[in-house]
Every structure is written in structure tokens, then in C-alpha cells.
Structure 1
Amino acid sequence: MAGQHDDMAKPLTMTLEHSGPLHVNSHSTLEEASVVDEKKVLRKMDLRLIPIVSALYLLCFLDRGNIGNARIEGLLEDINLTSPQYNMCLTAFFFTYALFELPSNMVLKRLRPSVWLSAIMVGVGIVMTLMGIVQNYHGLLISRIFLGLAEAGLFPGVAFYITTWYCRHEAQLRLALFFSGASIAGAFSGLLAFAIAANGWRWIFILEGLLTVIVSASAFFIISDYPHEAKFLSEDEKAWVIQRLETQFGTNVEGSKSFQWSHVWEVVSDYHIWVGVVALWGIIVPLYGISFFLPSIIRDLGYSSSNAQLLTVPIYVGGAIFGVVSAWLSDRAKKRSPFLVFHCCCIIIGFTIVIASTGRGVPGVVYFGIFLAVSGIYPGIPSIVNWIGNNLAGDSKRALGLGLHIGMGNMGGAMASNFYRAQDAPNYYLGHGLELGFAVAGLIAVVTLRILYQRANKARGEEGTGNLTANEMARLGDKSPAFRYML
């Protein structure tokens, strides 16, 4: 069981919810597996698992946000799109995207990650390629709806996938490395748009879509599904990886592979997840506001379209660097909330600077404010998602809980899509103000969530475990009196 017993060693039944019985060194203990070189095994896992899922998310976010680059290269004029219609195309994406994230993780529990994650991204690439031939508003709107449907399962799927390999004090860094694909995509999108724009905005969609199809099809042969099947690990290494996960999360419960509707109710009725949704809104709403409108915001500071594309690059690269560094520190400290509070404060201060300096003839100061906000946004997303995942025990609840948390959180994108209106250019006070308001709400939610977790830990410490057996506590998951929430 997680928390204060994270490092305890005990014999375990080697069974995983998603994989059935394991037949590798099933009677060995963690002490007996101590001959395994921990750093070597983690390095093997990092090199084999993280690059491919990061590449997929880079392409996913690239395809999602490149409409902002296409906009300043003539998209609106060529298909006679009004500003409200453009915003509706952005908004429509999130309805299917948010709706299908929870069902997607249900499917992932039954299919192999190599199959499901690859299929998701091949679909994304096909839709993106076809978006390059749309001729009117309705064609673009339908394309965005299907793009949301196609992309829905990737982020929650990978967030869960990482927890099937790494302990919760290791997952933050890996999720941040994965999510850095989003910030790198922002930089890469600006560079690609700068290079492709001479041929027209359609080629931004077509070429990036074809690239996604090619990489995603190859991912089927690269993604390793679960530790007990990993060909790159020895038998002792497989046993060590799985046994420590079972020790931490208590997943050694027979018969839990089959889907039960009670798992859904456990997730929906967990108020911690809903407070986490508000916290996620405080970060993800600014994320989407920036990703969709950053080129336009920078251009309206007085820069040319080409220079605006290039000036997005340092902002996104900085976000990626800060995200990885923050995650490394968070894993070492085995703390989440202090770093989240800091990230939320960066977003709040950043948008405060933007609002205060906008319209005063100091574009460099506005640019710095945006840079500071993004430096809090990109570390903040994996931090809040991983915090929620860390505090959900049991594979079923963790998979469904992450699906619900990320799915509802992404509804913030539907709101952010309408914050920056053409009539508000070049100052965009309304958009910046709304982003600031959500960031403040997110900070309050983070502090509230920490207090709730802290009180629960204290209460469980006072009550003790009673006469519950190890299996009974495992079935209770994060509601077990032995479970301690990570703070």
C-alpha cells in the first residue's frame, strides 16, 4: 500500500489487473530482487517507453494547435470564415475530445497500449491531412469535431500507461517528459509554419498530418505494452518492476480484470477528482488560450506574421525546460502541491504583467509576461494530472479517474476557445483577464485539495487499520486506512 509503506517489502501474488497472472519469479520478494540494478532498469524503461509516447504527443498537440498558425497565413480569408465561426471550430473540438476520454481509457483497459495508442494517432493523422482540403466553414467544423474524437484517448491513456511501469514518486518526471511534447510542438509548429507558409496554409495541415500517420503506424511496433511482456528486460528485472508496483498500489487482487460499473461510480463520487478538475482548469484554460492564439497575440504587438511565428519558439522551449526541471525536483522531494502552488503563481503574475503592460508601447514586457505564464502552464499540467493519478489506487480506478479528470479538465479548452475575440485586438483585455481569473481559481483549488488530502491522512493515522486483512485493504484502494495521499 502506498504512502508510509512505499518502501516495505513483502511477498505478493504476482497478478496485474490488465494482464492476468504473471509467471515470473512469483515467489521472490523485493529483498531477493535487490540484485537488480535499479538505475539501469529505470534507464532501460526511460529509453524504451518515453521517447515514442512523447513523439506521439508532440504530433498530437502539433495537429491540434496548428490551426492558430494557419489562421495568420490566410485560413479565414480563403474559406470566408468569420471570427465567431473560427472560434466555434475551436470550441467544437473539445466537445468530442472531452466526452470520449473516459470511454477511451475503458477501451485501453481491454486492448494493448501498442494497439490503441497507435490507432488513435493514425486516426488523428488522417483527419488532419483531410483538413487540408476543406473548402468552407462546415467542412472545417466537421473536421475539428472528428479531430477531437480521434485525439481523445492519447493523453489520459499515456498518463495511465506510465503508472503501469513507474512508482508514483517516479511518474512525475516521466509524465513531464511526455508532456514536454506539447511545448516542443508549439515551438516546432512555429518553425514548420514559417517554412511551409510560402506554399499556403493547406500544406501546414497536409504535411503535418502525413507525418503523424507515418510515425503513428510505426509506433505499433515500438510501444511495449506491460512490464511482464517487456522483451528488453530480463526475468529478474520484470519481477522487480512489477513487484514494487504491487507493493505500492496493492493491485494484487484476483478477478479485477473484468469491467465493473461500480468502478465508474467510485470515480464519479470521488470529490477529490472534482476539486482536481477545477485545479486543472486553472492551468489548462490558459494553456489553450495561449496555444490557439499566441501567434495572433504576438503579431498584434506589431510584429510581422513570419516573425510572430518565430517568436513563439522561445516561449515553448522555455516551457518544456521548466516542466522537466520542476518534475525532477518534485519527484526528488516526493511532493506535488508546493510546486503546483508555485506554477499557479507564475501564471497569475504573468497575466498580471501582460494586462498591466498591454497598450503602453512596451511589447517586450508583454512578451515577458506571456513567457512567465507559459513557464507556469507547461510544468503545471503534468503536475496536477500526476498528483491526481498518484492518489488513486487500483488500476481500474486510476485509469477511469484519470480519464474523467482529464476529460472534464479539457472542457476548459471549449471555454478558452472563445476568450480571444477579433474585436478585442490588439489588446485582448477580456481574454487575458479571463485567463487570469481561471488561474486564481486553480490556485485556490490546489490549496483546497492539499488541505483535504492532509486531513484524510491525519484521520487515517489516528484511526489505524483495524482488523482488515491485506486483501481487504487492497480492495479498498485509496480509501484504505493504510493508504496515504501524496501531498
Structure 2
Amino acid sequence: MDWHLMPVLTLLYLFCFLDRGNIGNARIEGMEEDLHLVGSQYNWALTVFFFTYTVFELPSNLILKKIRPSIWIPTIMVAWGVVMTLTGVVTSYYGLLIARLFLGITEAGLYPGVAYYITMWYSRHEAQLRQAIFFSAASFAGAFSGILAFAIGKMDGVGGYSGWRWIFIIEGIATVVVAVGAYFLLYDYPDTASFLTNEERAWILYRLQLQWSDNGNVVPDTIEFRWKYVWDAVCDWQVYLGILIYLAMVCPLYGISFFLPTIIKDLGFTSSVAQLLTVPPYVAAAVAAIVSAWFSDRMGQRSPLLLFHLCCIVCGFLVCLAGSLTWVPGVIYFGVFLAVLGIYPAIPNLVTWLSTNLAASHKRAAGMAMYIGIGNFAGAMASHFYRTQDAPRYILGHSLELGFALMGVICVIGMRVAYQRINARRVDKLVALRPEYTIDELRAMGDKSPTFRYMF
């Protein structure tokens, strides 16, 4: 099953994050000068992406529940590939803003959609490894983006276009090509997958039902859509605490992905060397994400390793601050390296943790879109953390990232304690309550069912 699903999903997200973050590479290849960007205009070009990205994530996930994933996901990918290609021919600041707004609309559905899609195939005790493999594409995109930008930057002047324009054009065309292939390679759900036998389909579906209980009681999931499940997600406390934790990690994520080339260049390196120096942290982070996910799945717990990764982020930005205050470029680079090692393993850990604690499937789709969508608004904030006037030390940016990471540590501890207490209460009350409910009533209750156990 892994070989039929994960390579395609990982490739899709690689191009998604490549197209989202390549503006950072284009910046140091002359984009600001050609478009006459001044002051905070570059930062606002980053920010407007998240306005539409945040708004369209929930509608996109609801559409995914209505339309086959093998149709919807490649379609939005074709759309953002076209937008990315056209970004390469913008001639003004306002043209860049419009392109980024449309990129937010078209990319909005991929990450929450695929994160939800994985939960429809894998149980919560095995999902994090797959989420990590999928999300590792973001790390590889960061590494590949630097190498690709280094190579494409040499095309400066070809066809009368600057090198930064070719970064957008070539990567956009490649995205469309991959999207067309995805129409033929992506499957929908286990009950319709052609590569599975009837026995394999039945076994996968049974395991997905059994995962919500720790005592062998099957908690059936809902099939029909009801707006009640969307409302349940809107009213669920764990979604909002999850948003705070997601904010704590997405601020550092976008601060790094948008500004790492600039931060490294301001340490005294040329543009070409800065592009290449972005590669090692991302490669190491991709490996760390997969190794961490493997251990987390084996442990059957999410919060311990999530806390460890958040502490890595905290330590990384503390080192960055120390290096900036004393101006030791090597220390700053090491701090960024350490922060990246914490960021990229932490996000699939959190997404898996929160998604597998939401049931039924329609509530999960809505809840995931909410915390990923609202949480990604952190990207709009992070777009202004590293300001031009703060170069080259970026004390403000590093300090803000540190503060968000510390908030994440506190919220993760709070969520773990809450889950433990709820599970303990349900164990005490299960024997008395269970005869009162029918299977249909348990189905409708989702994660509020007395047989449901939260993973922590």
C-alpha cells in the first residue's frame, strides 16, 4: 500500500512547497531590484498568500469529501502550476501581489487534503510515519530549491528573462507536468482501490474502525455527510488548542523557508553560496522527521517526541540570538540548523496527533482544515518577522520565533494532561454507560463516544 500511495503524495507536496517558498530564492537572484520593491513590500508579497490560503482550506477539504481525491487534488495542482508559471512574467509589485493571492487559493487544498486523506488509509498507530514521509517533501523542497535556484540562476538573460523569472517559469511548468501524471496515479479510498483484493479492503476498513478504542470495541465511522460534524469541529476545544500549537511551529517554519537564503547571505556569503548552504539543514531535517516518526509510531505516543522537537526549536533560536548579539556567523548558522531539525519533524507529529484524535471522518476533515488553515495564518505574521531594517542580526525575528516555540511547549503539556484525564474518566464510566448506547448512537458521537480513547 505504501508504494502505491506515498511516492505520489510526497512528490505532490514537494512541488507544492517548492512553489510556495521559491520566492525566497528569487529574492536574492534580483527580483526585488527588477520589480523595484522597497521597504516592506517583499514582506507583504509573502503575507497576502496566507490571506487566501487560510480562507480556502476549509472549503477545499469539504469539496474533497464530495469529489474524488484523484480528481480534486491533481486539478488544484494544475491550477497552482499555471499561477506559478505566470508569476515569472509579472512586471510590478501589484502583479506580484495578485499572483501570490491566486497561489494561496490554488494551493490551499493540498496539505490539509492529503493529511486527511492519509488518515482514511492508515490507522493512528501507523499514520505518523506516513505523514512524516509526506511532509519530508517540504524539507527536500527546501534543499532542492537551493540547488535548483543555483542552477537556474545561471540562465540569467536567456530569452531576455532574468534568472529569478526562470525559477518561477521552470518550476511552474514542472508542476503542471507532475499534476497531469497524478490524474492516473492517485487512488481514492481503500474501498475502491484497484490494487487491493476484496480481503485486503475488508481488513483495512476493519482496522480503521478498531483504532478508536483500546478495548476491542469497534467504533464505526460515519459515511453520510452532515453539517453537524462541521459544527462539532467548530465547537471542539482540542481544535483551538491545536491551532495554538500549530501556530507555534508554523511561524518558525515560514520564517525559515522564506528568509533562510537571506539570513545566510547576510552572514557574508555570495548568493550562489547562500543557495547551497540552505541544503544541509533541510536534508538533515527530512531524515530526522522520518526517524522520529518511526519511533513515535512504535511508542504509540505523540507528545513526548513533539516536546523534544519543540525544545530543539527553542534551543536553536536561543543559539541564533547568542550568535547575533556577539556576531559570530558560524554560531548563527548552527542555531538555524538546530531550529530546522526541530521544525520539520514536529509538524507531521502534531498533524498526526490531532487528526487521529478527531472522529468521525467528516469532523476530522473540517477540524484538520480549521487548525491547518487558521494555523497557517502564522505565515502572514512570520512574513514580517525578518525585516530589512533588522539585517544582518535579525534580533527581532529570532526573538519572536523563540516566543512562539515556548508557547508551543506549554500548550502541548496542557493538551497531554487534558487527554489523560478524559481517558481516565471514560475508563471509570465505560461499564456503566456502554449499555445505554446503540451502535448508531456511538457512530454519531465520534470522539465523544465512551469507547473512544485519545492518543497522547
Q: Same fold (TM over 0.5)?
A: yes
Q: Could you tell me how far apart the structure 2 residues matched to 1:393 and 1:253 are?
A: 7
2:92 corresponding residue in structure 1: 136
Higher helix share: 2
Matched ranges for 1:72-471 at <5 A: 72-198=28-154, 199=156, 200-249=163-212, 252=220, 256-258=223-225, 260-464=226-430, 465-466=433-434, 467-471=436-440
User: Aligned ranges for residues 5-84 of structure 1 at < 5 Å?
Assistant: 45-84=1-40
Aligned partners of 1:77, 1:412: CA distance in 2, in Å? 27
AA aligned opposite 1:57? Y
Closer, same or farther in 2 for the Cα pair 1:158/1:324, shift >3 Å? same
CA distance, structure 1, for counterparts of residue 24 and residue 32 of structure 2: 11
Q: 2:215: which partner in 1?
A: none
Q: Aligned letter for 1:46?
A: D
- Whether contact under 8 Å (2:219, 2:452) holds in the other structure is no
Distance 2:437 2:346 in 1: 37
How many angstroms apart in 2 are the aligned matches of 1:428 and 1:362?
13
List alignment gaps of at least 5 residues for structure 2: 157-162, 213-217
Helix, strand or coil at the partner of 1:74:
helix
- 2:445 corresponds to which letter in structure 1? L
Deviation at 1:274, TM superposition (A): 0.4
Partner of residue 160, structure 2: none
Aligned partners of 1:148, 1:83: CA distance in 2, in Å? Answer: 23
Q: Determine if the alignment matches structure 1 residue 476 to structure 2 residue 445.
A: yes
Inter-partner Cα distance in structure 2 for 1:360 and 1:475? 59
Looking at structure 2, the residues matched to 251 and 469 of structure 1 have their Cα atoms a distance apart, in angstroms, of 11
**Displacement, 1:185?**
0.2
**TM-score (structure 2 length as normaliser):** 0.95
Question: Following TM superposition, by how much is the alpha carbon of 1:430 offset from its aligned partner in structure 2, in angstroms?
Answer: 0.4
Shift of residue 253 of structure 1?
Answer: 5.5
**What SS does structure 1 have at the residue aligned with 2:437?**
coil
Shift of 1:365: 1.5
Q: Deviations over 1:179-230 (max 9, x none)?
A: 0000000000000000011221000000000000000111010001111211
Query: Secondary structure of 1:257's partner?
Result: coil
The CA deviation at 1:393 is 1.4
Q: Residue type matched to 1:476 in 2?
A: M
Structure 1 residue 246: deviation in Å?
A: 2.1
Q: CA deviation at 1:339?
A: 0.7
The amino acid across from 1:468 in the alignment is Y
**Match for residue 17 of structure 1?**
none
For residues 429 and 343 of structure 1, what CA distance do their matches in structure 2 show? Answer: 22
Provide the rounded CA distance (Å) in 1 between the counterparts of 2:325 and 2:19.
32
Q: Structure 1: which 4+ aligned runs deviate by more than 6 Å?
A: none
Could you list the per-position Cα deviations for residues 257-295 of structure 1 after superposition, in whole angstroms to 9, with x for gaps in the alignment?
Answer: 23x221121001101110011111111100000000000
Q: Distance in 2 between matches of 1:93 and 1:325?
A: 32
In structure 2, what is the Cα distance between the partners aligned to 1:248 and 1:437?
A: 36
Summarize deviations over 1:23-81 as a string: whole Å, max 9, x none. xxxxxxxxxxxxxxxxxxxxxx1101011011010000000000000000100000101
Q: What is the number of residues matched between the two proteins?
A: 441
- State the SS of the aligned residue for 1:483: coil
Hey, what's the Cα distance between the residues in 1 that align with 2:2 and 2:113?
17
Task: Give the SS at the match of 2:66.
Answer: coil
How does the TM-score come out when normalised to structure 1? 0.89
1:253–1:385 CA distance, 2 compared to 1 (3 A): closer
